[in-house]
Amino acid sequence: MKLNLSVYLIFFFIVFLGTSCRKKRVVNTSFYYWKTVYRHNETENQYFNKLNCKKLYVRIMDVDEEDGTLIPISPVVFKSPVPDSVELVPVVFIVNQAIKNQTHTQLDELAAKTVRYVNGKLGQAGKRSFRELQIDCDWTQSTRDNYFYLLRRIRQCADLKNKQLSVTLRLHQLKNQRSSGIPPADRVMLMCYNMGNLRKYGNQNSILQQSELEKYAGDNLSFYPMPVDIGLPLFRWAVVFRQKQYAGIAKRLNISLPDNKKLFRETDHNFYEVLGDLPDYGLKRGDEVRWETVSPDELEDAARYLQQFVTSDTLRLIYFHLDEPTLKYYRYETLEKTASVFR
């Protein structure tokens, strides 16, 4: 009995010592910038600086197919230079279906053009070079081989020598690693948003829903074979249904409008019926609007769940995205508190 107790106490001491001596995880907070025009904004700068951000992940362009040719879509325009103190990480979004039927020769050309185009845009931003390039693509099993080939060709570009290549990772790609494959990159950024069925009628939240998050992450995150960073949502939208069929997103709809009982009638949690035609917002009488937001508590709950499975000593937490109309719903303290959960 004494021997068993001694063994137990030794084991307890080792576990306690290991836990107490464990280093805190380094968490670097960043933002995405997902607008087509970049210009200085005082509110956005304040959030960026107060959260001690060093990097800004800027969407440079989309890549899509037009008449069989891959072309840049809606490239960002820099109306202001990015401050010298801020590292700009260029992000290129590639439409999944656009690369499905491309030949290796076409993908070789796309790789070279992408890096060349990114360098040109960085010059407009007042930057001479970059240290990390991120590619964003919701690849599937049918496009995986072409996409991974493209990533390898991008990595082989001369301008990518000694630089990091990161890619975004959707939850379904995290869970279905065997069929989705592991991208040839240095890091992945797990997009913990847009996880529900946007087009499905009902009052669910398609931006962030804890129950959906838990279906995909967990051990799939713990055992992913490369460093995983985390992206959390700071956006909101109004999803419109017409005769119970998805009709789009009312992008100009303000969060305060549903409170106008002359225009909207709440029929369920975050679900509203439109009482009259609102042509300025593309709404008709009888339409239904699902107003989707992410509360500070929901952000923190997601962080508390995810931090259990993050294995990296250094984590990049990237909020989507740096946008004044959205940021006003979140205090600095809220975003810092969420980041501190991962430490």
Instruction: Chunk the chain into consecutive blocks of 10 residues (it has 343) and report each block's average pLDDT, rounded to whole numbers.
Output: 47 43 83 97 97 98 93 97 97 97 96 96 96 97 97 94 96 95 97 91 92 94 96 94 95 77 91 93 94 94 97 96 93 96 95
CA dihedral 256, 258, 262, 268 (to 10 degrees): -150
Please give the structure tokens belonging to residue 332.
Answer: 């600095």
Write the DSSP assignment of 152-207 as a string of letters: HHHHTSGGGTT-EEEEEE-HHHHHTHHHH---SSSEEEEE-SS-S-TTS-SS--SS
Determine the pLDDT at residue 4. Answer: 52
d(CA 193, CA 163): 27
Instruction: Give residue 315's pLDDT.
Output: 97
- Contact, 255 vs 289, CB < 8 A? no
Residue 255: predicted pLDDT: 67
SS3 of 61, please? strand
User: Does an H or E element contain 65, and which?
Assistant: strand 55-66
Q: How many CB atoms lie within 10 A of CB 276?
A: 11
Q: What is the DSSP string of 80-101?
A: SPPPTTSEEEEEEEE-GGGGTT
pLDDT of residue 189: 98
CA gap 123, 111 in Å, rounded:
19
End-to-end Cα distance, the chain: 40
Q: How many CA atoms lie within 13 A of 229 on its CB side?
A: 22
pLDDT of the residue at 260: 86
Could you give all domains of the chain from N- to C-terminal order, each with its CATH number? 24-234+297-341 (3.20.20.80), 237-292 (no CATH)
Question: What's the pLDDT score for residue 3?
Answer: 45
> How far, rounded to the nearest angstrom, does the alpha carbon of residue 82 sit from its chain's CA centroid?
21
CB 175 within 8 A of CB 220: yes
Grouping H, G, I as helix, E, B as strand and the rest as coil, residue 62 is strand
